[in-house]
Chain A
Amino acid sequence: MGLTGLEIFKRLPKTNCKDCGQPTCLAFAMAMAAGKAGLDQCPHVSDEAKEALGAASAPPVALVKIGTGEKQWELGNETVLFRHDKRFEHPTAIAISVSDTMSADEISAKVAKINKLVFDRVGQTHSVNLVAVENASGEADKFAAAVKVAFDNTELPLLLISEDTAAMEKALEVAGSKKPVICGATAANYEAMTALAKKYDTALVVKGTNLSELADLSEKVIALGHKQLLLDSGAREVNKVLADQTQIRRQALKRFRPFGYPTIAFVTSTDPFQSVVDAGIYITKYAGLMVMSSADPADILPLVTLRLNIYTDPQKPIAVESKIYEIGTPGADAPVFVTTNFSLTYFCVAGDVESARVPGYILPVDTDGISVLTGWAAGKFTPEKITEMLQGCGIADKVNHRKVIIPGGVAVLSGKLQELSGWEVLVGPRESAGIASFLKQRWSA
């Protein structure tokens, strides 16, 4: 387990010099405990403290980098079993495979398809990360040729899958310059594979036939001086993969060193529905890199979305999406309420509008998930932002009036809001519990 802030603090120089960018040594220690700062940011820490903290604060799962340049992807550095305990750090890399039994045209066509697996999610682009080339033919020359086609047709890093050392050597002569992942080392070939991985300074998949063999093999490879590893327990059935992934992460967090590396998981089902479900399980359960064969955007989009959701930092305010919410089935003359997107605030208002039995629209303005008065205090619930919401969300097309009800607690905003938005502003009750009686007395569209 990681060190607590206080345990780290005890080892720090306690000068409060601010050289680390934090206002105090305790703040720095708490940031370190939360994984948001590293010991190297403190220029004054003693060698003794470095030794004590360095080992204890080293990540339980090593950071492994694959590929080069813009498409480089980082794996590992994970610290928890459940995202709500802190966060998952590095999103699962998705690899799509081609086989060296395919023709050069088929390979370049599929790689072109893989290159296009780029999606827009909430304003950001998300894509798959690697092209995997399988040595299904068992022939070294065919493998090298297939790798060459893939290498020439994509910017993405490659995952080279062959247990034949000679084939791997040839493939690396083609693609070694961009740090492909070598997959991989087994009990039979690990010395040669490790030598290749060291030569090209690249990540190596270590594959056992079960967890205990994997641990042995991992230790042997580490002993040979290579530490950029990915772990494969050999399991291919989804239930077994799930169990092994869980065990590897759990032991890594207990600082079992041989398992302190990201993992790789293979989707083997040929049924498209089943393969997406399996892939979803691997993304959720700790896979650092996940390999599948479908390049169908309909299969990949849900996985990219799931990955984005699972790896979202949960350490942020509890907020609802800032959009139009309909309570009941509101018509064109239904009342429009403005509030903030703090979920507690929104659900209070929604509940009280619902119990008022008057269908209505609620517009939660994006205040970074803080309440009405807090939002007002921090300058995040302003006439400008409310106006932006009124004009940008499309509510004007849904109602035939131009009246908006604001919370009584921010009555002070009404004049400026009316001026900016052109909507007539009604100041509602201070408490949402008063909405029912407010509507009875004051509302007519």
Chain B
Amino acid sequence: DLPSTLDPLFQKVKLTVPPATLDDSRDDAGRTLAALKQATGIDNARFSLEALNALPGALRRNGWQVTLSLADVKGYIEITGVEPGFREDNYYGLAVDIGTTTVVVQLVDLTDGRTVCVRGTYNKQAVYGDDVISRIVYAVDNKDGRQEMQKAVVDTINELIDQMLPENNIAPADVRAVACAGNTTMTHLFLGIDPEYIRLEPYTPAANSLPPVPAGELGLHINPRALVHCLPGVASYVGGDIMSGARLIEIDRAEELTLFIDVGTNGEMVLGNREWLLACACSAGPAFEGGGITNGMRAMAGAIEHVEIDPANGEVTYNTVGDAKPLGICGSGLIDLISALREAGIIDRTGQFLPRPDLTRWREGDDGPEYVLARAAESGNGKDIVITEADVKNLIRSKGAIFAGIRTMLRMVDLPVEAIDRILIAGGFGRYIGIQDAISIGLFPDVPLEKYKYIGNSSVKGAKMALLSRRVRDEVEALAAKVTYLELSVGNEFMDEFVSALFLPHTDINLFPSLIHAA
């Protein structure tokens, strides 16, 4: 994922400046800027006061050789420091993915682009709400709510920084730039910007494109003058995280018509190629991340990630992440499970449980019929792991929202699903993302499997690319400005498509030609 040329948001440049003479009595700054332009092509540099202060002495101390610190301020380069002579020290940057649920930080050596270390943890904002909406409500409705929310996410990132820096013998002062990718709400809360109108009609964020902010102002435990760059978003629910992924896959350069989907709570997707780009968020809900499902969980140790049910006797076999005793079911397991329950005739096409008292794993629970996936004796927490009818309906709504989002985007540009050349899936499913099962429940369109590719956490990978390349950072801005946002709550198209998709796989089985023989 390294950009072809290393041109990070912060860099040090060794520069030999022509000495001042009676024939060349330019001022020190002008002389240095001209030399910089000649050496690097950078023609939009400006001195900070501090750097100017140091310049005359530094130039003359070591035979007109200096090392300049250059920070990209978006639009121009600031010379933030001047040191005499050629320095060989290292300097670092952070690529950060601020997810609603988890935060991932990559510590990157800006001199060679190498990732030194990666860490992830839960976003401490979770105590104020599981989803972006509750957090906006909290930030707006409580006195100091916005500050508390900002502190929570900064603390989360600092906790990771405080672990990583000492372990790698890196001083905080040597971390000089940050590139952040997060959804629009996360970005607003991280920078402390008022998020109130994000969720209110007509759904307007304060800003899609954001200014770089000194780390000291945010309270990050790194060089206080390091600039924090948040990648730009497109609209209230299509943010920098998805744009980061879109740049990573270079959707804006593709000849092929590409569909890029982040199967997460917000269900963002981008459709297009180098000519045009369309994006929407279908708010699928957290079901595929394990949220709102009785025994749902994220893809971590003990999560059932792959399931098969024998249609003959309704018995089950499964795999868990890390081969640990099962604790719950993650996204890929849930997709397999719905598909298998349907195939085994345990649920019907609306997700309703059929009466199957003949099966030992079928039973009446407190909330209606349920299927026992793992019994207490074999589970890691001494409890039965089940899926209930409400869980199934919940998943059907989630998959329906995603499929409806895809169909609505295609309708807006009058293209058939066959026109899509490749489909790239991002999201934290687990290893066994069963595309065929996802198609058979109607989550993804019925196109040849070779068009699909699973790409993992594209958000942090894109942030790292932007950190290491000013050009990439500018390209994300350009990409975001090109995207046409589709507001799904306007008009009936999405709602019609959504209702039609509340069926396994869909009300219109002709949309799933490969399943017709099976149905």
Contacts and interface: CB of A to CB of B under 8 A. Distances in A.
Interface in B380-395: 389-390, 393
B1 interface: no
Nearest to A416: B141
A433 B390 contact: yes
B323 to A, nearest CB: 34
Nearest to B140: A379
Contacts of A431: 367, 390, 393
Interface string B326-338: 0000000000000
Interface stretch (A1-9, A64-72, A188-196, A417-425): A1-9
B276 A379 contact: no
Nearest to B278: A26
B199 interface: yes
B133 A377 contact: yes
B484 A23 contact: yes
Interface stretch (A117-125, A205-213, A233-241, A310-318): A310-318
B412 A5 contact: yes
B364 to A, nearest CB: 13
A23 to B, nearest CB: 7
B200 A378 contact: yes
B411 to A, nearest CB: 10
Interface in A386-445: 412, 431, 433-434
Interface in A199-258: none
Contact of A16 (B137, B389, B481): B481
A81 B200 CA distance: 36
B492 A316 contact: yes
A159 interface: no
Contacts of B484: 23-24, 26-27, 30
Counting contact residues on chain A (CB < 8 A from B), the size range is: 20 to 34
Nearest to B292: A430
B390 A378 contact: no
Interface string B190-203: 00000000011101
B414 A317 contact: no
Contact of A4 (B414, B485, B489): B414
B283 interface: yes
Nearest to B485: A23
A128 B481 CA distance: 48
B413 A6 contact: yes
A73 interface: no
B474 to A, nearest CB: 16
A86 to B, nearest CB: 10
Nearest to B413: A6
Nearest to A434: B367
Contacts of B203: 378
Contacts of A4: 413-414
A370 interface: yes
B276 A26 contact: yes
Contacts of A9: 276
B482 interface: yes
Contacts of B485: 23, 27
A374 interface: yes
A426 B495 CA distance: 30
Counting contact residues on chain B (CB < 8 A from A), the size range is: 20 to 34
Nearest to A342: B495
Nearest to A28: B484
A24 B483 contact: yes
A325 interface: no
A5 B413 contact: yes
Contact of B492 (A23, A27, A314, A378): A314
Interface in B117-151: 133-134, 137
Contacts of B414: 4-6, 33
Contact of A315 (B134, B367, B492): B492
Contacts of B133: 376-377
A115 B490 CA distance: 38
Interface string B169-208: 0000000000000000000000000000001110100000
B499 interface: yes
A377 B367 contact: no
B489 A16 contact: no
A376 B200 CA distance: 10
B415 interface: yes
Given A27-B484, A30-B412, A378 B283 contact: no
Nearest to B412: A30
Contacts of A301: none
Interface string B273-299: 000111000010000000000000000
A6 B415 contact: yes
A436 to B, nearest CB: 10
A185 to B, nearest CB: 40
B499 A24 contact: no
B296 to A, nearest CB: 14
A64 to B, nearest CB: 28
B460 to A, nearest CB: 26
Contacts of B201: 378-380
A16 B208 CA distance: 15
A327 interface: no
Nearest to B277: A26
Contacts of A315: 491-492
B276 A6 contact: yes
Contacts of B499: 344
A70 B421 CA distance: 54
B495 A318 contact: yes
B491 A378 contact: no
A120 B203 CA distance: 34
A314 B489 CA distance: 14
B41 interface: no
B166 interface: no
A431 B133 CA distance: 20
Interface in A335-370: 344, 369-370
A315 B489 CA distance: 11
Contacts of A370: 489
A412 B138 CA distance: 11
A377 B199 contact: yes
A24 B483 CA distance: 7
Interface string B478-500: 00011111000101100100010
Interface string A1-39: 000111001000000100000011011001001000000
A436 B358 CA distance: 27
A349 B233 CA distance: 37
A317 B367 contact: no
B64 to A, nearest CB: 46
A316 B482 contact: no
B491 A24 contact: no
Nearest to B237: A377
* Centre residue among B200, B389, B414, B481 by max chain A CB count within 10 A: B414
Which 9 A-B residue pairings sit nearest by Cβ, starting from the closest?
A: A4-B414, A26-B484, A377-B133, A24-B484, A27-B484, A315-B491, A379-B200, A26-B276, A6-B413
16 contacts: A5-B412, A5-B413, A6-B413, A9-B276, A23-B484, A24-B482, A24-B483, A26-B277, A314-B492, A315-B491, A316-B492, A377-B283, A378-B203, A433-B367, A433-B368, A433-B390
Interface of B: 133-134, 137, 199-201, 203, 276-278, 283, 367-368, 389-390, 393, 412-415, 481-485, 489, 491-492, 495, 499
Given A6-B413, A431-B367, 6 more contacts: A23-B485, A30-B413, A33-B414, A317-B489, A317-B492, A379-B201
